[in-house]
């Protein structure tokens, strides 16, 4: 395994495992803090869905998110095909976050992009190489 792939796996595993703890804490003790995500979502219908369905059910949805992030973190540390599947799941999560944003208020589209979306693209670009099948060394 290349050094880059090993470092990326560990860094993103730590981020997702930490994210699981954050979602667990916020879901149990600060569920109202998720409401501001509706303000940075790109699609109006998704903002309404967030304000209606998601916030009404944030308790169990945040626990599902925590479980998802925990599974991705463990998958990135596992052997075999699990890291590639975990990377694919993480990229799907990043696609959702790209649309949702990080709930940072912004004046204008450029500031919104910089605050709520640019870092997600950087993370996705850093993680994407894990989808490649590693080259196997020839048997001797």
Model confidence pLDDT, tens digit, residues 71-100: 999 999 999 999 999 999 999 999 999 999
Residue 46's pLDDT band (cuts 50, 70, 90):
very high
Distance CA 84, CA 133 (A): 8
Place of tokens 């925990």: 70
Band the pLDDT of 133: cuts 50, 70, 90. confident
Query: Percent of the chain at pLDDT above 90?
Result: 92
Q: How many CB atoms are closer than 10 A to CB 19?
A: 19
* Chain centre to alpha carbon of residue 7: 18
Q: Which two tokens stand for residue 136?
A: 């196997």
Residue 140: pLDDT over 80: no
Instruction: Please check whether residue 130 is in contact with residue 5, taking contact to mean a CB–CB distance below 8 angstroms.
Output: yes
| Token duo for residue 6 | 């090993």
- What pTM did the predictor assign? 0.89
């Amino acid at each position: 395994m290349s050094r880059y792939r090993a470092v990326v796996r560990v860094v993103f595993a730590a981020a997702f495992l930490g994210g699981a703890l954050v979602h667990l804490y916020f879901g149990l003790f600060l569920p109202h803090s998720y409401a501001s995500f509706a303000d940075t979502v790109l699609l109006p219908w998704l903002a309404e869905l967030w304000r209606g369905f998601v916030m009404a059910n944030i308790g169990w949805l945040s626990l599902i998110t925590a479980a998802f992030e925990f599974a991705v973190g463990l998958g990135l540390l596992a052997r075999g095909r699990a890291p590639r599947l975990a990377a694919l799941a993480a990229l799907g999560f990043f696609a959702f976050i790209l649309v949702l944003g990080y709930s940072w208020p912004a004046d204008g589209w450029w500031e919104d992009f910089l605050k709520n979306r640019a870092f997600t693209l950087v993370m996705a670009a850093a993680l994407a190489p894990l989808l490649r099948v590693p080259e196997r060394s020839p048997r001797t």
